[in-house]
Amino acid sequence: MSTAEETGEDAPWGEVTPEAARRLLVAAVEAFAERGYHATTTRDIAGRAGMSPAALYIHYKTKEELLHRISRIGHDRALALLEAEAGGEAPAAERLAGAVRSFVRWHAERYTTARVVQYELDALSDEHRTEIIELRRQSDAVVRRIISEGVAAGEFDVPDVPGTTLAVLSLCIDVARWFNAQGSRTPEEVGALYADLVLRMVAAQK
């Protein structure tokens, strides 16, 4: 019914195709975000999706495969957001602010997903973890590139580019930990605040 209108950017799990598999995945995201991967049982996931425990194994080989799918899709999305703002001819300050705003907004709006994506890495198998870490390396590279270009253009004054990149990403990612929907700030507001703070961190000193 709502599949058609949800295929855009606002449908986070539109790419998960059998509808039953998507229901299970959404249920898993909620459960993992609330209790953590290890504290979540396959019975709980199946129950939230309105199915019996056995139904899960028709669509996914293991519980870890569910986590991997969530993590993979989430990282792809986060990286795409960064890359969308990184290119172009705009000044580095504008591109950095855009990247931070958009990245932070995603971590706030989809904070259940982001929590799983950012904080359950250790629960992945070795193989899957290395795959995901490579995506994070790419995110790091995108941000570092913007900052480097800002320094080269004389827009920024950053003594330690890798360290500042790390801090910027760390700041944004941690939004997923403390943000909650009942709080007083909207994702939009947090994005704007953080973009301002990050620009101050790299600004040319007076």
Partner DNA sequence: CCCGATCCTGAGCAAGCGCTTAGGGTCTGG
Partner DNA sequence: CCAGACCCTAAGCGCTTGCTCAGGATCGGG
Confirm if 92 and 168 have CB atoms less than 8 A apart: no
Q: Please pick, from the candidates 46, 60, 194, 195, the single residue that binds a copy of itself as defined by CB under 8 A.
A: 194
Smallest separation, CB 6 to a copy of itself (Å): 30
DSSP assignment of 66-96 equals HHHHHHHHHHHHHHHHHHHHH-SSS-HHHHH
Q: Which does 122 bind (CB under 5 to 8 A by kind): a copy of itself, DNA, none?
A: a copy of itself
Q: Which does 103 bind (CB under 5 to 8 A by kind): DNA, a copy of itself, none?
A: none
SS3 (DSSP) at 197: helix
Q: Which does 87 bind (CB under 5 to 8 A by kind): DNA, a copy of itself, none?
A: none
* Closest of 106, 108, 112, 107 to residue 30, by C-alpha: 112
Pairwise CA distance, residues 56 & 158, whole Å: 49
Closer of 3 and 138 to a copy of itself (Cβ): 138
State which of positions 130-149 bind a copy of itself (CB under 8 A). none
Q: Which does 42 bind (CB under 5 to 8 A by kind): DNA, a copy of itself, none?
A: DNA
Smallest separation, CB 133 to DNA (Å): 22
Closer of 46 and 96 to DNA (Cβ): 46
In three-state form (DSSP H/G/I as H, E/B as E, the rest C), the secondary structure along 116-151 is HHHHCHHHCCHHHHHHHHHHHHHHHHHHHHHHHHHH
Give the gyration radius of the chain's Cα atoms.
19
Pairwise CA distance, residues 25 & 15, whole Å: 11
Smallest separation, CB 64 to a copy of itself (Å): 12
Pairwise CA distance, residues 23 & 149, whole Å: 43
Q: Does 39 bind a copy of itself (CB under 8 A)?
A: yes
Q: Does 206 bind a copy of itself (CB under 8 A)?
A: yes
Applying CB under 7 A, the residues found at the interface with DNA are 18, 20, 40-43, 46, 50-55, 57-59, 61-64
